[in-house]
Amino acid sequence: MKNIEVVVAPELTSCYQAKGKLVVIIDVFRATTTIVTAMANGVKEVKTCLEVDEAIALKKQGYLVGGERDGVKVDGMDVDNSPLSFLDGKYADKKFAISTTNGTKAVETSLDANEIIIGTFANLTAVCEYIAQSDLDVLMVCAGWKGKMSTEDLMFAGAVIATLPEEYCSTDSADIAKSYFLKYALNYKDKLDTCEHAFRLKKLNKQENIDFCVEKDLYTIIPKYNAISKTFVL
């Protein structure tokens, strides 16, 4: 049987073993939703950067640069961490460098994995299908918020686990995520609209971002980490 586990924050990734596994990076509000949306609208590759300066330096190599700290666009960046910025396809064929408060840290802590993919509600079914066809054990790494658990990331992990076939070995973390999603499955959007991270975004007038980020199956793509280029590609 294949094993599936959930890490509630990247600071805890070292407590698990990513090596040899398929890692799913989850940052529903908003980094993984932004990455999926950007690539679905023509961005050809995405580089995640732990530090702001690293991302901004990539402008010299022709990268579009975006991201945030505490939800606010950083001075010197071209765009913020909003999936809505990419909907019109105006950045098609661009390379995109992104640095965020939590999501890019989740990538950094998972680099010894066999495979790394990007997951969010916007590509939920595609993620489930990709996991189901893989022979690897799965580690779902939630970005959380500054070392703490985030409802929206745990909810997405649970949605994936609830959709997968029963051939996966049950673990405590997977059972908790699945049970949490099933409790709110019929009204998960309402629950996520009132979670802590949603309130942070509401204070920044980002309700449209919240609404977009909780929509299921907007896209069928799977951004995958390329260890040679150190970027996410399709």
| Domains of the chain, earliest start first | 2-225 (3.90.1560.10)
Query: Per residue, what are the HEC states of 1-27?
Result: CEEEEEECCHHHHHHCCCECCEEEEEC
Measured distance between the N- and C-terminal CA atoms of the chain, rounded to whole angstroms = 28
DSSP 228: T
Calpha distance 60→64 (Å, rounded): 10
Calpha distance 190→31 (Å, rounded): 21
Tokens standing for 6?
A: 């959930």
- CA dihedral for 17, 222, 82, 64, sign (positive or negative): positive
DSSP 216: -
Backbone conformation region of residue 155, classed left if phi is above 0, alpha if psi is from -120 to 50, else beta = alpha
Q: Along the 234 residues of the chain, how does pLDDT read in single tens digits?
A: 899 999 999 999 999 999 999 999 999 999 999 999 999 999 999 999 999 999 999 999 999 999 999 999 999 999 999 999 999 999 999 999 999 999 999 999 999 999 999 999 999 999 999 999 999 999 999 999 999 999 999 999 999 999 998 888 779 999 999 999 999 999 999 999 999 999 999 999 999 999 999 999 999 999 999 999 999 999
For residue 170, what pLDDT is reported? 79
Amino acid at 98: I
Angle at 27 between CA 4 and CA 128, to 5 degrees: 40
